[in-house]
Amino acid sequence: MSIIDASTRTGSNPINLGTLTTGSTNVVNVTDSKDLMITITMAGTPDDVFAVEGSMNNVSWANLAADGTNTTIDSAKTEIFVFDGSLPPYVRIRKVSGVNPATVYLYLGRIS
């Protein structure tokens, strides 16, 4: 698990979180309240499951999805997660299950 400081990034300058495989996690330190957009692109089948979670202390984590559930990403497509407004200081993207590596980009800033 790596922690990436996202405080100097903007929506036009995405953070490449690299490739996630099952069980891997990337944590991003969001030091101010910005909108967040995450794109996950995956090629191959079957569908895989990801969690986008937030934390106030980098210890206790909660799912950021409005319904509190993980997101299944269809094979061979890009999924976009958008969170408007105030975010906890830490955000992580966790691959819960699946066999395909996925490329993850994170964007911070005003999302229009």
Give yes or no for residue 62 having a pLDDT over 80. Answer: yes
Q: What SS3 state is found at 100?
A: coil
For residue 109, what pLDDT is reported? Answer: 54
Average pLDDT, the chain: 68
42-60 tens-digit pLDDT: 666 667 787 788 888 878 8
What span, in angstroms and rounded, lies between the C-alpha atoms of 56 and 38?
19
79-94 tens-digit pLDDT: 666 766 667 777 777 7
Q: What SS3 state is found at 35?
A: coil
CB 30, CB 91: distance < 8 Å: yes
Q: Write down the domain spans for the chain.
A: 2-108
Structural class in CATH, domain 2-108: mainly beta
CB 98, CB 48: distance < 8 Å: yes
